[in-house]
Chains A and B, each alone.
Chain A
């Protein structure tokens, strides 16, 4: 867990140029192909249900949406 947080902080901290994207440059980020299962929520939901039924772990998929600022 600690290694994960350190890696995440280093990853984000090392990207000093990040976040300089204007709203009209987000066309690529909003593409369906940039989302799991091309943004098909029903498929993602079924996939999660299979894993939930067959494995002992759950959580981490978010309780709601994303946040690329595309809307």
Chain B
């Protein structure tokens, strides 16, 4: 009887490993993003390859290209046209707020390796690199995941990432930190360190929860070179580039929960609290539902609510800034809410070939909205 029970356990474990185990696949996605009917459009083909070397290693690689064209709203001097470089002393009549156009191509590549130790603890090392015409970012990350019990129902993880960014700043009007003599672009660095401590708990065979604490530190040129502010509007209006502090420290916490309600329906919910020393507080609530109609069709829906407070150096008013050290009229630094709604569908042609499509609507009330479409295919091998 004991032998029979043990054999059935082994058989069940083997089935489990076959089901849960490794997956080798190629995932190709095309995403089209359209903001306010053409203000900003992004077209991005992306490819991901995941490969398991035995039970101990998983290698994941992805790459893609974003073709970006559009416009970004900021202050400019109407006398010299709508551009981010349209700065200098002007008149009240010539202070305008509107879209300045830009085009860019962003390329990115990412790779990660997961090594499972004899204890089945996991070590993950990742590399990321992306480039735009005036921005470069490289990142290295590492995480250790330790299971606290033999059934692997509880785990703690500690991860950290270091990012080195370089931003090229054009010397519009020879102002500020730019080299007025050469008039050429200058390179400024941004160093970013992020860390996260997580605790994952399997609650029962249908639900899972994860709690994490995270923190980050940024140092360097944190201003947006395309964003302007107006100073001394009431006396001698002067349009100049925004200036944010050179450091930023942030921290927060997340709570993530997933539950299989029925054999076909799974619900996922998460909450994030965020705070930084620019005095931005934010709350994010995200809910997703995935429903498998049958063995071939699956559908999904999601809703997300986000709210943030304004940075201490933000004002959207042209009359506000005079001699303050830090000044920004970047709407992303303001207090606002946003809503996201998404729907998706997935169709399995076979056990190894899946097609997915989806649409996501993003809205910041009284400011802008965006919609993006995805279509992709995943081929297992």
Which residues of A are interface residues toward B (Cβ below 8 A)? Answer: 1, 4-5, 7-8, 11-12, 15, 17-38, 40-43, 45-47, 50-51, 54-71
A60 to B132, CA, bound (A): 25
Taking CB atoms, residues of chain A closer than 8 Å to B280 are 56-57
Q: A54-B338, A68-B152 are in contact. List 20 more A-B contacts (CB 8 A).
A: A11-B209, A11-B255, A19-B153, A20-B204, A21-B202, A21-B204, A23-B13, A29-B206, A32-B290, A33-B266, A35-B268, A40-B27, A43-B374, A54-B332, A57-B280, A59-B274, A62-B157, A65-B122, A68-B200, A71-B55
Contact residue among B141, B201, B207 (Cβ-Cβ distance under 8 Å from A64)? B141
Taking CB atoms, residues of chain A closer than 8 Å to B308 are 55-57
B45-71 interface with A by 8 A CB criterion: 46, 48, 55, 58, 60, 62, 64
Given contacts A11-B209, A37-B344, contact A60 B332 (CB under 8 A): no
Taking CB atoms, residues of chain A closer than 8 Å to B129 are none
Q: Is the CB of A20 within 8 A of B153?
A: yes
Q: Is the CB of A46 within 8 A of B48?
A: no
Taking CB atoms, residues of chain B closer than 8 Å to A65 are 114, 122, 124, 143, 145
9 A-B pairs with CB atoms under 8 Å apart are A11-B209, A18-B204, A23-B13, A30-B20, A57-B282, A62-B157, A64-B157, A68-B200, A71-B58
Taking CB atoms, residues of chain B closer than 8 Å to A45 are 62
Taking CB atoms, residues of chain A closer than 8 Å to B311 are 56
Which residues of B are interface residues toward A (Cβ below 8 A)? Answer: 9, 12-13, 15-16, 19-22, 27, 29, 31, 33, 44, 46, 48, 55, 58, 60, 62, 64, 112, 114, 116, 120, 122, 124, 126, 141-143, 145, 147, 149, 151-155, 157, 159-161, 194-196, 198, 200-212, 214-216, 250, 252-255, 258, 260, 263, 266, 268, 271-276, 278, 280, 282, 284, 286, 288, 290-292, 298, 300, 306, 308, 311, 332-333, 338, 344, 346, 356, 358, 360, 362, 364, 370, 372, 374, 376, 378
Taking CB atoms, residues of chain B closer than 8 Å to A41 are 27, 48, 60, 62
Taking CB atoms, residues of chain B closer than 8 Å to A11 are 209, 255
CB distance from A28 to the nearest CB of B (A): 5
Residue in chain A with minimal CB distance to B116? A71
Q: Is the CB of A33 within 8 A of B46?
A: no
